[in-house]
Amino acid sequence: MLVKTALKGRSCPNGHDKNKPLPGCGRHELTSEKRKDFLLMSIKTSFTLFLATGLLWNLTGCQNRDMPLLSWTGDSPAAGVQTMSVNGMDTMNTYAGNVCVIPKKKAKVKEGMTSFTSLAQLCVEITEQKSLYANNIYERLYPASLTKLFTAYVVLKKGNLDDIVTISKNAANIRETGAKLCGLEEGDQVSLRDLLKMMLVYSGNDAALAIAEHIEGSEENFAKVMNTMAASIGAVDSHFVNSHGLHQEEHYTTAYDIYLVMNELVKNQDFVDIIHMANCEIVYKDVAGNEKRMSCTNTNQYLTGAKQVPEDITIIGGKTGNTLAAGACLAMYSRDLDGNEYISVIMKAVNNDTVFGQMSQLLLEVKEKESIE
């Protein structure tokens, strides 16, 4: 059935009266399908203009507000624009979140501030969600054991920390050279909470693999969940293929994505309590039910006293990472004397001494909270 419409106020190129609907003229009549397409296109256009207005308001820097953030995916991955189909038409669904959005053009070292030799650096004051230092924060880099932050995020969202986990043959037999291991053996019985401590405090790779297998049945399935949950918080420049961070080519993240997951994790008291431990002792059982013990010392040398804490800064905790390909990486959660809290990230420093030295310098430089805006 033809639906006829006059294109009022417009001239018809076929020479017809612009105010009279004429049969047989494609400029004056639309099929129902064409009209539907025209209406859908109009709706899309209106919605796009609405989003553009939101962008101008929301993405002029870092915002601290309770309403959802609107963004464009090309310049500010944080704003997590997702698409869904409604009657064949793609719409966008923005997630709500209290995060600091840093446009790429502002993700650079401000004049007068130190340029570091590590490849990426970021410091965000999360009390007001204000970026204080940002450089190469969207560069995709190998994360080493910073991966375990995303593993912890999945565990704390999906797992029961009171679960008792049976260590598999696979988890007990990581053979990669240089892999840090807790010495778990097949059949050992360890609580999920204690595995989380082994992973975050001691950085045990066998603990991370055991966690993955317990939560999702296999490391492959767990990695898929990691990627989905990373995207759900806006960490769209990350891709994981394992739960521990031992090197694989298709396993990467960014300094900004590390900030995003830390920003979520520090809301969880279990996580904060664990990363604040300078050391801990784990008691668990072997396959025969005999008691076993493991002493864990935190890889965070600020907490153990091996590195000096910057003046007027309290180190709450964080996560280290180190592989040949990733270099030395460090993510830190800290607080100043005024109670302002910070998440700081350094990736791909040349060695352990350098990454802690640069983290100290970064924290000292941003104490006055000078914004990059």
Tokens of 301: 């040398």
**Whole-number average pLDDT of the chain:** 80
By C-alpha distance, which of 216, 212, 243 is closest to 145? Answer: 243
pTM, to two decimals: 0.76
Per-residue pLDDT reduced to its tens digit, 317-332:
999 999 999 999 999 9
Q: Where are the alpha helices (DSSP H) in the chain?
A: 32-58, 147-158, 192-200, 205-216, 219-232, 255-265, 269-275, 301-304, 352-365
Distance CA 364, CA 294 (A): 36
Exposed (0-12), middle (13-18) or buried (19+): which is 232, by Cβ within 10 Å? Answer: middle
Distance CA 121, CA 178 (A): 26
Using pLDDT thresholds of 50, 70 and 90, give the confidence band for residue 78. very low
- What was the pLDDT predicted at 70? 28
Per-residue pLDDT reduced to its tens digit, 286-319:
999 999 999 999 999 999 999 999 999 999 999 9
- What was the pLDDT predicted at 23? 41
The amino acid sitting at 249 is E
Q: What is the DSSP string of 4-43?
A: E---TTS--TTS--TTS--TT-TTTEEEHHHHHHHHHHHH
- What was the pLDDT predicted at 172? 97
- What was the pLDDT predicted at 97? 55
Share of the chain above pLDDT 90, in %: 66
Average confidence (pLDDT) over 239-262: 97
Average confidence (pLDDT) over 239-257: 97
Provide the sign of the torsion angle of the four alpha carbons 253, 254, 260, 266, taken in this order.
positive
Per-residue pLDDT reduced to its tens digit, 252-281:
999 999 999 999 999 999 999 999 999 999
The upper half-sphere exposure of residue 2, i.e. CA atoms within 13 Å in the direction of its Cβ, equals: 13
Question: Which phi and psi (to 5°) does residue 45 adopt?
Answer: -60, -45
Per-residue pLDDT reduced to its tens digit, 153-172:
999 999 999 999 999 999 99
Q: Which of 34-38, 86-90, 98-102, 361-365 has the lowest mean pLDDT?
A: 86-90
User: In Å, how far are 14, 155, 165, 200, 317 from 273, measured between CA atoms?
Assistant: 76, 15, 21, 11, 9
Exposed (0-12), middle (13-18) or buried (19+): which is 142, by Cβ within 10 Å? Answer: buried
| Of 274 and 110, the one with more pLDDT | 274
